[in-house]
Amino acid sequence: MNAATRTTFKPKGIIPAMITPLTAEGKFNEIAARKLVNYLIDGGVHGLFIVGTTGEFYGMTPEEKKEVFQVVMDENKGRVAIYAGTNGITTRESVELTQLAEECKVDAVSVLTPMFITPNQEQLIKHYTTIANNTSLPVVLYNNPPKTGINLAAATVAKLAEIPNIVSIKDSSGDLTLTAEYIRLTQGRDDFSVMVGRDTLIYGALCYGAVGSIASCANVAPRLCVDIYEKYMAGDLKGALEAQFTLAPLRIAFTIGTFPSVIKESLIMLGIEAGSCMEPVGPMTQEEREKLRQVLNGMGLLK
């Protein structure tokens, strides 16, 4: 399937990078996932990003990913846009997963740069071009060099933005200068947008012209994350910045445990079933949990 024309799909707002709830046996917990979908949508989010880094995509088979796609699509019932992670080390793997996501009728896919291998920028352009040419879905580029060791250069993103169905990028580099360069080099084009993936930089990225954030912290505090975006868009810059500062301790607390355990442990503390992380990521220690509890208390999230 080749997307010959520019898609009208426009990502925006706060999109939680949703965890994948697991049972005690380490299997996908469908009941918990359905509850989480509703918790997030009730929190005012503008989309859901499933089977991404926070969703532990790296530990799932294609069949397991398909199950998550189908369950979330079924529970969502068209209320918000669904973005599916179709990340692979090879182009072939990403194409196959993207086509699998398309069969499940998701709204868009997000494709992380390859990991473990180190392709150059020309090879990355070819990688994403091939993926885009093999689907009619909107494609969101995903840059996360702290996790993959690969960085999508601003000039590379500007070139990829010319492809009709490549519509956005999620930048989790934590480098606001790079995020701003993505925006600067693609400005004036309402068919391509930039989202930030570092939750401490949502407000700053919006100031530069980003359209929103794919945020891990939105699992735990969806309304707070939404406040940053909606207050900013309404012109309440003071309120948006206050919400950003309130959120910051949670994102900074990610270092307390091995990712994504802080997100799952936070949800459990809020009374939301999340399960454990995929091994070898183990549970947080009692001392680590207490530190996290103090953070959540300080944010006013625990009753």
* Count of CA atoms in the C-beta half-sphere (13 A) of 289: 11
The answer to whether the CB of 85 falls within 8 A of the CB of 51 is yes
Q: Which of 129, 71, 58, 137 is CA-nearest to residue 101?
A: 137
Residue with tokens 């939404």: 226
* Binding region for pyruvate: 54, 214
- Residue 4 tokens, joined: 């010959």
Whether 208 is a known active-site residue: answer: no
Binding-site residues, in ranges, read 54, 214
Q: Which two tokens stand for residue 168?
A: 């956005």
Edge-first strand order for the sheet with 47-50 is: 13-16, 212-215, 193-196, 166-171, 139-143, 108-112, 81-85, 47-50
Cα–Cα distance, 303 to 300 (Å, whole number): 7
Beta bridge partners of residue 83, listed in sequence order: 49, 108
For 243, phi then psi, to 5°, come to -65, -40
Q: Which of 65, 170, 231, 264 is catalytic?
A: 170
Active site residue 142: yes
Joined together, the tokens standing for residue 198 give 């570092």
Residue among 83, 142, 182, 208 flagged as catalytic: 142
H helix intervals, the chain: 30-42, 62-76, 91-103, 121-133, 145-148, 154-160, 176-186, 202-208, 222-233, 237-252, 261-269, 286-298
What is the C-alpha radius of gyration for the chain, rounded to an integer number of angstroms?
18
Report, as residue numbers or ranges, the catalytic residues. Answer: 142, 170
